[in-house]
Structure 1
Amino acid sequence: MVTEPYRIRVKPDSELARLLDEIGDAPALLEKNGKLYRLTVEPVQDLWAGYSPQKARSALSKSTGALRGIDREELLADIHLARKQNSRGRPA
């Protein structure tokens, strides 16, 4: 299972931001208590690259009836229960 990396937001006026500016796009190793952590620049991905409105419409059309036979109330109850669960990165 692929998990998203833990995101740490760096304040622009912090010492860490200054160090990141100093190294630029070069890979870096962070060392703490003998442990090394690799730091690389993550490429920005274009969310819309390869998007085809026609393919999206086709997929939506093919999905018609996918939930036929599902107990609507049970599904909604499951969704509401899942939303109450606490997870890392979820807004408070």
Structure 2
Amino acid sequence: RTIRNFNIDKFFVGVNGISIEGGITFSNVEEAEIAKEVHYHSFKTYVIADHTKFGIIKPARTLEVSEIDGLITDQVPDDFKSKLLSVNVSKNFKVI
């Protein structure tokens, strides 16, 4: 309820899994619900995930990959990079 009272400029969130099919996922349902609520009150959402999180689908789905504005990572697997950019083509999506 408190989150609804804020307008958030940029939301940076670490995740447990990221895949085109499964979206942005967490192991913990409560964390997923909080992340979803913060996202909906943020102007921009950036996912932080190292290379081990790609292709991983955890039980609690939060967002579609197309709903995020950027990805901060150490490395994007080549097969995932083309899929990632294709679902975010209409946005100013950034991989950092």
TM > 0.5 between the two?
no
Q: Normalized per residue, which structure has more strand?
A: 2
Taking structure 1 as the reference length, what is the TM-score of the superposition?
A: 0.23
Taking structure 2 as the reference length, what is the TM-score of the superposition?
A: 0.22
